[in-house]
Amino acid sequence: MATVTFDKATRVYPGTEKPAVDQLEIDIADGEFLVLVGPSGCGKSTSLRMLAGLEDVNGGAIRIGDRDVTHLPPKDRDIAMVFQNYALYPHMTVAQNMGFALKIAGVNKTDIRTKVEEAAKILDLTEYLDRKPKALSGGQRQRVAMGRAIVREPQVFLMDEPLSNLDAKLRVQTRTQIAGLQRRLGVTTVYVTHDQVEAMTMGDRVAVLKGGLLQQVDTPRNMYDKPANLFVAGFIGSPAMNLVEVPITDGGVKFGNSVVPIERAALTEAANQGDTHVVVGCRPEHFDIVENNGTHLAKDDPTDAAGLAVTVNVVEELGADGYIYGTAEVNGETKDLVVRVGGRQIPEKGAVLHVVPRAGETHVFATGSGQRLSD
């Protein structure tokens, strides 16, 4: 097992000036499961391919353990990669696919069979060892690809969107299996996905990239509770965090007809940057619905009601709770908002709710830089 270090690693594709990956700096601990996540074109797969030796590194360095592998060929890096498309040989059985790399390396047949059977047992593939890939489901093929990586006993596992070809239910099941398997084997793993739910549920830490730049690397909980900037705030979380630009006022910010208290340090920092407005973030579960005229879910819309008036457009009932997708007038603009409510408190479409961010659950960002201002 080994640590992995991206030391200002940079990749610039020929014919372009803008780096696909720009001075990436991440230290991955021995045995850690790190997930690279971000939208298409953010540089996550390129970063993984740089680590694998499939892309050149134009600046900085990459280390696996104490070895500088920046310019080593893939075969000398002691890594195993699991691809999105499985990349199985159709004419070989499951056992032959799993043991092929060992056969090429000159390992004797008895040892190969032993390692393949051990991996198959871990992955619940024992009864399929004599089948060919065409006789397997997508999830089983992906497990075969995992087995092929396991038998090599590499220092680092690299996984490039391995669940993309699976249906939704199987994805949930397989991601649990992969995360559990990684913890059992203790192999350092770098995993790429565009699915932030996948990232948050699988990784020990998550690294968010945008435009080739690392935005934040942290534990899933810290990233959810303290996103470093507006991009991370809007990207991490499902449904996404509500982000509303509001004016600064005495003691806080003006949110509809209410003043929401904000940390003094955040307001001071905004004032130092010359901002008269800040962007307040509030997750759907952190809104309180204000009671007006004795009604918890107010259908009227008095102009002097507390909070921000949200008109309900769509209601998503999930049983235990529900999500309200609505619109509100903020600073003369129509803004989409998502509010989570209890399963027994679902309003009708067209109703008007008045919401206020819960004290202590707001996030404050600078309007100009987009950086986090609150602690």
Tens-level pLDDT at each residue, the chain (375 residues):
699 999 999 999 999 999 999 999 999 999 999 999 999 999 999 999 999 999 999 999 999 999 999 999 999 999 999 988 888 999 999 999 999 989 998 999 999 999 999 999 989 899 999 999 999 988 899 899 999 999 988 999 999 998 888 888 888 888 888 898 899 899 999 999 999 899 999 999 999 999 999 999 999 999 999 999 999 999 999 899 999 999 988 878 888 888 888 888 888 888 888 888 999 999 999 999 887 543 444 344 444 567 899 999 999 998 889 999 999 988 778 999 999 998 888 888 999 999 999 888 999 999 989 999 977
Same domain, 199 and 253: no
- Torsion angle defined by CA atoms of residues 4, 9, 13 and 15, in that order, rounded to the nearest 10 degrees: -170
Total Cβ atoms within 10 A of residue 120: 22
In a 13 Å sphere around the CA of 124, the CA atoms on its Cβ side amount to: 8
User: Nearest 5°: phi and psi at 215?
Assistant: -90, -40
In a domain, 77, yes or no: yes
| Domain around 316 | 239-366
Q: What is the pTM of this model?
A: 0.88
Same domain, 80 and 56: yes
- 59 has which bridge partners? 10
Identify the domain boundary among 200, 231, 262: 231
In a domain, 374, yes or no: no
In a domain, 17, yes or no: yes
Identify the domain boundary among 177, 205, 231: 231
- 288 has which bridge partners? 356
Same domain, 293 and 263: yes
CATH classification of the domain holding 38: 3.40.50.300
Same domain, 256 and 220: no
